[in-house]
Amino acid sequence: MSFDYDLFVIGGGSGGVRAARVAAADTVSKVGMAEESRYGGTCVIRGCVPKKLMVFASTYAPAMKQAAAYGWDVQAVGFDWSAFRVKLEGELDRLEAVYRRLLKNSGVETYDMRATVAGPNTVRLADGRELTAKTILVATGGWPTVPKVPGAEHAITSNEIFHLEALPKRMLILGGGYIACEFAGILNGLGVDTYLWYRGTQVLRGFDGEARDVISKGMQERGVTIVTETNIAQIDKVADGVQVTDTQGAVHDFDLVMYATGRAPNSSGLGLEALGVGLDRAGAVEVDSYSQTAVPSIYAIGDVTNRVNLTPVAIREGMAFVETAMKGNPTPVDHALIPSAVFTQPEYGTIGLSEEEARAQEVIEVYATTFRPMNTSFINDPHEVLMKLVVSQASRKVLGCHIVADGAGEMIQMAGIAVKMGATKEDFDRVCAVHPTMSEELVTMKSPVRTA
């Protein structure tokens, strides 16, 4: 049978773009792609990249305070959101152009519109055209979820935060995950009176408990007001902002409310279920270890599969898909021991098991220390950092590494190599410390603080 394309990719995010252009360039395949929004997807357009640039912007105010404490004559006259937003949007335009150029240079034919799956080998474009492909790859990512609360339409999500006309003076962020906590730090750093409400007892559920405590304490020391065990019952639009009624019946005034209560796989309306492709209760496309669905010609990668929702993981899944489906070299993706960073303030880098997870599976030793680093203790800054190793008592392998500190993301990338290689606590101990640094504590902690 003759097809219009060897491969058709639905979704122009990081994973889909990588798969499309590598397939086109390395396998001499004819590749098509459809994207209904902007090329680059969540990470480049409404996620990692603009968020990290906002993180950078938000750190200058405390940095200037620290500079003054060190003796510099520094005067901060305020943050110009409008000027920053113009530069931010220009950078996103530049990056999208890069993605488009990479696709074009690789020979990928692109369609700037929505596409759905009309058959095992058929894609239907929004303009009604139908195209055939030997293999279809779904890489449509995820989308923010908003609870069904009266007045929820008056709130925004992380998708809209980058495009505000002006920064609010007083803002409420609802949620306790990494997106909520990251934006709480960002907005607070940019001078917004920031409140974070979370229905649980501590933010960052699912991460290491000790790290969560240090991060929460640090966020509050920096000015974020965190209120746990509460939720929004209703949002009402008023002349000068919004009024929010909490679940205890109290009413609060804010300029803006942002929901950061989770993301769902962007699989709705793609036509997958009608073809026999399985979706789980969350809407995630069900795939095997090779990213193949129950329909052999249809694969899925990235956040739409809800496996490990990180951009580098989606890219690796895309590369493994090309090896498997386009080159005939079955290649699963290793989802174990993936280092990650949470760009809260303070920052968090982590790989492997939390103390709680490790304790549930075997006897462990915990090596941990919290302290004020040299640069902040010198100016009597109260902020503490955490260095922590979770170690198997039987094998001595480091099961988890947790760092809460400025630059934790950079540190965990390096520590992650050792943990991924199966390093033991004694392997860490054999490494000479780099002094004076925060990270030297990872190789100088000699006695466990507890055994569990």
Domain range 5-143+264-326, CATH architecture? 3-Layer(bba) Sandwich (3.50)
Strands (E), 157-260: 170-174, 193-198, 225-228, 232-238, 241-246, 251-254, 256-259
| Average pLDDT rounded to a whole number, residues 280-290 | 98
Q: Is 402 marked active-site? A: no
For residue range 95-131, list pLDDT tens digits in order: 999 999 999 999 999 999 999 999 999 999 999 999 9
Predicted local distance difference test score (pLDDT) of residue 30: 98
pLDDT confidence of residue 75: 82
How many whole angstroms separate alpha carbon 446 and alpha carbon 452? 17
Using CA atoms, how far apart are residues 442 and 420, in angstroms rounded to an integer? 16
Element (H, E) at 115: strand 115-119
User: Mean pLDDT throughout 30-44?
Assistant: 97
**Where do runs of H (alpha helix) occur along 190-259?**
209-221
DSSP annotation string for 371-404: E--HHHHTTT----EEEEEEEETTT-BEEEEEEE
Q: Per the residue annotation, which of 163, 335, 402, 435 is the catalytic one?
A: 435
Would you state the structure tokens that stand for residue 74, as one six-digit string? 């520094």
Mean pLDDT, to the nearest integer, of 133-144?
A: 98
Residue 301: predicted pLDDT: 98
Query: Looking at the domain 152-261, which fold is it?
Result: FAD/NAD(P)-binding domain (3.50.50)
pLDDT class of 88 with cuts at 50, 70, 90: very high
Categorize the per-residue pLDDT at 37 as very low, low, confident or very high, splitting at 50, 70 and 90: very high
Residue located via tokens 């997106």:
179
Q: In the chain, which segments carry CATH 3.30.390.30?
A: 340-451
In contact, 29 and 4? CB cutoff 8 Å: no
- When pLDDT is cut at 50, 70 and 90, the band that residue 76 belongs to is confident
Q: What is residue 237's predicted lDDT score, i.e. its pLDDT? A: 97
pLDDT at residue 77 is higher than 90: no
| pLDDT for 224 | 98
CA-based nearest residue to 258, from 197, 345, 344, 204: 197
- Measured distance CA(386)–CA(441) in Å, rounded: 9
The pLDDT confidence band at residue 260, using thresholds 50, 70 and 90, is very high
Q: What is the pLDDT of residue 193?
A: 98
Domain with CATH 3.50.50.60 in the chain: 5-143+264-326, 152-261
As a whole number, mean pLDDT of residues 55-72 equals: 95
Residue 184 has pLDDT above 90, yes or no: yes
Overall average pLDDT of the 191-210 stretch: 98
pLDDT tens-digit profile of 339-376?
A: 999 999 999 999 999 999 999 999 999 999 999 999 99
Q: How many CA atoms lie within 13 A of 107 on its CB side?
A: 13
Residue range 54-77: mean pLDDT, rounded: 93
From the candidate CATH numbers 3.30.420.10, 3.30.450.20, 3.20.20.80, 3.30.390.30, the one assigned to the domain spanning 340-451: 3.30.390.30
Q: What is the pLDDT of residues 52-61, one digit of tens each?
A: 999 999 999 9
Please give the Cα distance from 238 to 319 (Å, whole number).
50
CB 95 within 8 A of CB 40: yes
Among the residue ranges 8-22, 62-76, 400-414, the one predicted with the least confidence is: 62-76
pLDDT at residue 28 tops 90: no
